[in-house]
Amino acid sequence: IYKKENAILPSYEILKKCFANNNDGAGFCYVNENNNIKMEKGFFNFKKFYERLLEVQNNKHLLIHMRISTGGMNDKRNCHPYRINNNLFLAHNGVLPELLSKANLVFSDTYIYSEILKIFKIKISDFKSEYFKYLFEKAIGNNNKLVFFSKQKAIILNEKLGEWKDGVWFSNESFKKQDEYDYYENFTNDLFRKIK
């Protein structure tokens, strides 16, 4: 979940639903009053996560991640976001190429990917180049979404695969009301049955 500057934090109900649907650990990045990026992660209890989020949230932009494990242990190290450097953080939704996702039973694909990215000294300004952004999107594939978070802004790769609502970007539909979510899921399942 990426919240733009001056956007309203998603409601308790939405965040609780997201946490329930993605319950393998949560974390967030924010810009504090001293204009430094702070990261907190390793929340496995929604109440503690939500209370801490309320304490630190402000009118600046914010990155939130709630994990569904696809590889690696369910521990603080494998929770997102990840620090690439002091000025750039990363959160991911999806499963990165098999080379990364099955390389290690301890660390997740995103953990390994973030460690690799540290070598390249990437800056948010690198994404001013549409070619740079395009190459990144091609490298991660059509089913992955990445958010790079800096003090000033965030870059969302494969942004079209998510959904904006009131200045907040959601990487998947787990934030929707259950009946609305069920409707889309049932519609899609029915459609696939008819195609078969």
Is there a contact between 11 and 174 (Cβ–Cβ < 8 Å)? no
Q: Indicate the pLDDT class of residue 103, thresholds 50, 70 and 90.
A: low
How big is the chain by its Cα radius of gyration, in Å?
A: 17
**pLDDT digits 0-9 by tens, 36-61:** 999 999 999 999 999 999 999 999 99
Query: What is the pLDDT at residue 178?
Result: 61
pLDDT in tens, 109-124: 899 999 999 999 999 9
Predicted TM-score (pTM) of the model is: 0.86
At 105 the pLDDT is 79
Alpha-carbon 156 to chain mean position: 9
CA distance 141 to 111: 17
Distance of CA 136 to the CA centre of its chain: 16
- Among 85-99, 132-146, 180-194, the minimum mean pLDDT is found in 180-194
Distance of CA 13 to the CA centre of its chain: 19
Mean pLDDT of 70-88: 94
In this structure, what token pair is assigned to residue 144? Answer: 């992955």
